[in-house]
Amino acid sequence: MLRISELTLPLSHTEEELNAAILDRLGIPAGELLSFTLFRRSYDARKKTAITLNYTIDVEVKDEPAVLARHAKTTNVGPTPDTSYHYVTRAPASIKKRPVVIGFGPCGLFAALILAEMGFNPIILERGKTVRERTKDTWGLWRQRELKPESNVQFGEGGAGTFSDGKLYSQVKDPKHYGRKVLAEFVAADAPPEIMYVSKPHIGTFRLVKMIQLMREKIEKLGGEFRFEQRVEDVLIEDGQIRGLTLNTGEQIEADHVVLAIGHSARDTFEMLYERGVYIEAKPFSIGFRAEHPQSLIDKCRFGPGAGHPILGAADYKLVHHASNGRSVYSFCMCPGGTVVAATSEPGRVVTNGMSQYSRNERNANSGIVVGISPADYPGHPLAGIAFQREWESRAYELGGGNYNAPGQLVGDFIANRPSTGLGSVEPSYKPGVTLGDLNPSLPKYAIDAIREALPAFEKQIRGYSMHDAVLTGIETRTSSPIRIKRDDHTLQSLNTKGLYPAGEGAGYAGGIMSAAIDGIRVAEALALDMMAQG
């Protein structure tokens, strides 16, 4: 197989034109080309009137050695590199001990899958319900203001990203191409095949729910055992080695190899681990609001006359502003054509986040507009970031009216520093509802000041961004974990607890679905090799 890169064509080209460009690049007649598959397709919209598509394509030709020899000095034609996944070991059929995976979000899912594929028969403990039951409970908060503390946007089968935009891109270094394995498994579980090649793949909520179920069934067939509604409440550590777990049912499980993939909202579990002496330190995260604008405004600004083209879809954006008080304000988890969702897991608190469907065809674009904060803002204790989050989330609940409404304000009013009294042209999508007013008391002053400065500054990057009627809802606090459960860089085990593999977003080693899934693969490999070494 040959790989051609940097093949550029206009946005609206035909299949024949793509075919012709491949032949032209390789310098072969049509009869020599056997087949081709897209490896990557991205767009370049810097010139809005001449948007182009950029391809990397894998090609089969009749005489590959001859074509390769002719292109020995061409940088964008060469042999296709091996990006397939290779297992690091295989468990013997006689293996008796079983590793335990705590949490079935993207990290736990891929840790469990890889362990199951290698023959280690993992036990998966998940505090929440199966994804179908969890969906009903999650909608219960959005429609009836009823929060189930163990079954919500954060907790349950599929983890935090199940009701999401399902963005699958990540900035993490991935020299072993684990991301390809993740995408291939998603496609095998019925994700849209295009996620294998588009530069910014996404899946959307409804599809994710079905995929999670199919992936659980696959792990079960491979020897994995699932236990839902089983929360790990305690850990048994002897001489710096994990020995067992206690569940909410009272049951005790022996375990000396445990993947800890509990996400960033398992505050009770963080507290328990800290009390048991597992090494934890505070880490930076971000706080802010969700901003909602008409999607058409974003599309027009990003794509000009190309707006609405099916290949481009709904436009996203990425914004950064360095404020004069030294804080950085940036867009976070931008959801094109989506909705703002209630994302608390604790009663009496309000947290926002965003999701979308695969079609991304809702009226509004939404994004977190958040300010970076660090342990200097919540000093004194490794878990102080959790107390900080709780304090502001409770305040948001009160400002919303004490009924899970989110406090909100129009962008124009927020910039002018006056309370909002009525909506304009942008209808906020947050359910159960938005209580308009003054967002000043909803976050620390340094964050309010920085966002107030950033919104007009973003106007330079997206014309119309500071439009009066755009809506801010608050608050965003669960942008990433407020702690890091530190691990050894080589063994990936906790710094002071052998056999415990802190992983994914909750442990501070991932930020998003893809990076959490990749981290799950990494810890599964390290754990499997350690089990094999111990015999």
Judge contact between 270 and 383, C-beta under 8 A. Answer: yes
Minimum distance, C-beta of residue 21 to ligand FAD, in the bound complex (Å): 33
Nearest to 283 by CA among 518, 511, 517: 511
Nearer to ligand FAD, 286 or 466 (CB): 286
Distance CA 520, CA 523 (A): 5
CB of 535 to ligand FAD, least distance (A): 29
Which CB sits closer to ligand FAD, 126 or 413? 126
DSSP letter for 305, please.
G
Residue type, 489: D
For ligand FAD, the closer CB: 306 or 511? 511
With contact defined as beta carbons under 8 Å apart, do 279 and 485 qualify?
A: yes
CB closer to ligand FAD out of 266 and 329: 266
CB of 331 to ligand FAD, least distance (A): 13
Q: Do residues 127 and 155 make contact, with C-beta atoms less than 8 angstroms apart?
A: yes
- Other beta carbons within 10 angstroms of residue 345's beta carbon come to 25
Distance between alpha carbon 426 and the CA centroid of its chain, in Å? 27
Nearer to ligand FAD, 306 or 354 (CB): 354
Q: Give the CA angle between residues 28, 197, 5 to the nearest 5°.
A: 40
The answer to whether residues 337 and 361 touch, using CB atoms and an 8 Å cutoff, is yes
Provide the minimum distance between the beta carbon of 134 and ligand FAD in the complex, in angstroms, as a whole number.
9
The residue among 263 and 284 lying less far from ligand FAD, judged by its C-beta, is: 263
Q: Which residues bind ligand FAD (CB under 6 A)?
A: 102-108, 125-128, 153, 155-156, 159-161, 163-167, 231-232, 261-263, 266, 269, 333, 341, 343, 353-355, 504-506, 510-514, 516
Interatomic CA distance for residues 441 and 93, integer angstroms = 60
Cβ burial of 70 (10 Å; 0-12, 13-18, 19+) is middle
CB of 426 to ligand FAD, least distance (A): 20
Contact 214, 108 (CB under 8 A): no
Considering the complex, what minimum distance in angstroms separates the CB of residue 432 from ligand FAD?
15
- Whether the CB-CB separation of 235 and 278 falls below 8 Å is answered with yes
For residue 267, how far is the Cα from the chain centroid? 19
CB of 56 or CB of 164, closer to ligand FAD: 164
Least gap, CB of 95 to ligand FAD (angstroms): 24
Distance, CA of 35 to chain centre: 34
Pick the closer one to ligand FAD by CB: 91 or 334. Answer: 334
Tell me the closest approach of the beta carbon of residue 51 to ligand FAD, in angstroms: 24
